[in-house]
């Protein structure tokens, strides 16, 4: 039985289901006569394999989350009555702040490379919205290493509806507080819960990519850095989604907000 459990556990590990091993192993204890001995063996096996999983597959990867910087929407919410959300531009102050973040990121990359003694490999993702792409454009000017930027629809800002008349009205605010901001869905738009589902989809995508890089020996001399530029509410939900990995100390997450 111990051998059978071990083989099944190994199969689970191959599929990346390390967290389920503890519950699975304990469930097998009740099915055998000498439960104490088997329990000890299983828990020892699980502990060893879990540590090996951390070292081999998802160790100390670096994710940088950046909110799109100050835009015309931050100055006047009513701009959405005449300009679609996806076409709102950043302000001059937003552009300057984006450049400053680019300098901070370059300093961070220099320190990371020195510490790890590896070459930095950057993967960058951006919201399709104008202000996010403009933020990343200004940042990129200050980062020495060139990198490709992939636009991902899951990173778009919370949909507030089609040219909403007044998203800050007393009526809207009262409804939002009654339902709670997380579950409140704007007319023809989204709730923060909807954004969380998108964020979780994106999180799973980048985690799989990191794991694939870890399994490929040609990337052993590279320090993987993922840069994500989205919007405040999206960044907030990404942080929530990433917590299940961060809680295991598998990720190094750095955030730049407005």
Q: Which residues pair with 122 in a beta bridge?
A: 225
Handedness of CA 43, 209, 134, 160 (dihedral sign): negative
Predicted pLDDT at 59: 45
d(CA 181, CA 122): 34
Q: Show the DSSP H helices in 32-154 as ranges.
A: 35-56, 72-75, 92-116, 130-140
Tens of pLDDT, residue by residue over 51-78, are 554 444 444 579 999 999 999 999 988 8
- The region of weakest confidence among 22-26, 87-91, 243-247 is 22-26
Predicted pLDDT at 246: 67
Tens of pLDDT, residue by residue over 154-210, are 999 998 876 566 666 777 778 778 788 788 887 788 888 999 999 999 998 888 877
| CATH number of the 61-256 domain | 3.40.50.1240
Q: Where are the domains of the chain?
A: 2-56, 61-256
* pLDDT band, residue 124 (cuts 50/70/90): very high
pLDDT(23) > 60 = no
Q: What is the dihedral of CA 168, 174, 180, 184, to 10 degrees?
A: -60
Q: Which residues pair with 126 in a beta bridge?
A: 151, 229
- The region of weakest confidence among 32-41, 86-95, 231-240 is 32-41
* pLDDT band, residue 252 (cuts 50/70/90): confident
Predicted pLDDT at 20: 53
* pLDDT band, residue 228 (cuts 50/70/90): very high
């Amino acid at each position: 039985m111990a051998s059978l459990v071990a083989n099944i556990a190994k199969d689970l590990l191959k599929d990346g289901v390390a967290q389920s091993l503890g519950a699975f192993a304990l469930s097998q204890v009740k099915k055998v006569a000498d439960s104490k001995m088997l329990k000890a063996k299983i828990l020892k096996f699980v502990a060893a394999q879990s540590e090996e999983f951390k070292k081999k597959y998802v160790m100390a990867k670096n994710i940088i989350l950046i909110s799109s910087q100050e835009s015309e929407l931050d100055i006047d919410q009513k701009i959405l009555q005449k300009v679609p959300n996806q076409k709102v531009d950043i302000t001059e102050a937003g552009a300057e702040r984006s450049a400053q973040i680019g300098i901070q990121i370059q300093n961070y990359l220099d320190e990371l490379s020195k510490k790890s003694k590896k070459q930095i490999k950057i993967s960058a993702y951006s919201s399709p919205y104008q202000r996010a792409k403009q933020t990343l454009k200004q940042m990129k000017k200050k980062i020495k290493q060139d990198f490709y930027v992939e636009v991902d629809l899951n990173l778009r800002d919370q949909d507030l509806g089609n040219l909403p008349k007044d998203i800050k009205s007393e009526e809207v605010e009262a409804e939002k507080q009654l339902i709670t901001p997380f579950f409140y869905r704007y007319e023809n738009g989204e709730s923060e819960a909807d954004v969380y589902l998108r964020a979780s989809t994106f999180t799973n995508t980048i985690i799989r990519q990191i794991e694939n890089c870890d399994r490929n020996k040609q990337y052993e001399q590279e320090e993987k850095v993922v840069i994500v530029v989205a919007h405040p509410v999206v960044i907030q939900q990404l942080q929530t989604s990433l917590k299940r990995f961060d809680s295991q100390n598998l990720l190094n997450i750095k955030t730049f907000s407005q």
